[in-house]
């Protein structure tokens, strides 16, 4: 099976969770750049809108905070489901797919 770049990246993340455990620090390693981008957009939106409409500025910040909280909710579900996922994933097959993809890239 030939993996797409997205599939390969996802399998590497799952493999990292398998070997290092699913912890808050592991999650932050994966998603810190996206969260920094969301926070940056929230700050820029606030600064651009506060002069013309403070209500819109607060709305924009609320939308960005909501996006962060949505992600936190997804990760809470992932933490609760991890023991089940760890048991049902075929780690041997996943390792083989990662290795074959890395050989094909080289």
Per-residue confidence (pLDDT) for residue 40, from 0 to 100: 95
Q: Write out pLDDT tens, residues 11-59.
A: 999 999 999 889 988 888 889 999 999 999 999 999 999 999 999 999 9
- pTM, entire model: 0.75
Sign for the pseudo-dihedral over CA of 9, 33, 65, 63: negative
- Kindly report the CA angle at 29 between 65 and 19, in degrees rounded to 5? 135
Parent domain of 12: 5-105
Per-residue confidence (pLDDT) for residue 45, from 0 to 100: 94
Q: How far apart are the first and last CA of the chain?
A: 16
Task: State the total domains in the chain.
Answer: 1
C-alpha to C-alpha distance for 103 and 23, rounded to whole angstroms: 29
Per-residue confidence (pLDDT) for residue 5, from 0 to 100: 93
CB contact at 8 A, 31 and 71: yes
For residue 105, give the nearest of 19, 26, 14, 12 by alpha carbon. Answer: 12
Helix, strand and coil percent figures for the chain, each rounded to 5: 85, 0, 15
């Amino acid at each position: 099976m030939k993996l797409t770049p997205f599939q390969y990246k996802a399998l590497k993340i799952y493999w990292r969770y398998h070997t290092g455990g699913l912890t808050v620090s592991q999650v932050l390693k994966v998603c810190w750049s996206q969260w920094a981008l969301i926070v940056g957009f929230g700050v820029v939106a606030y600064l651009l809108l506060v002069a013309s409409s403070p209500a819109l500025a607060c709305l924009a910040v609320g939308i960005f905070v909501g996006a962060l909280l949505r992600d936190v909710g997804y990760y809470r579900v992932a933490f609760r489901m991890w023991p089940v996922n760890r048991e049902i994933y075929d780690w041997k097959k996943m390792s083989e797919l990662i290795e074959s993809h890395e050989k094909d890239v080289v």
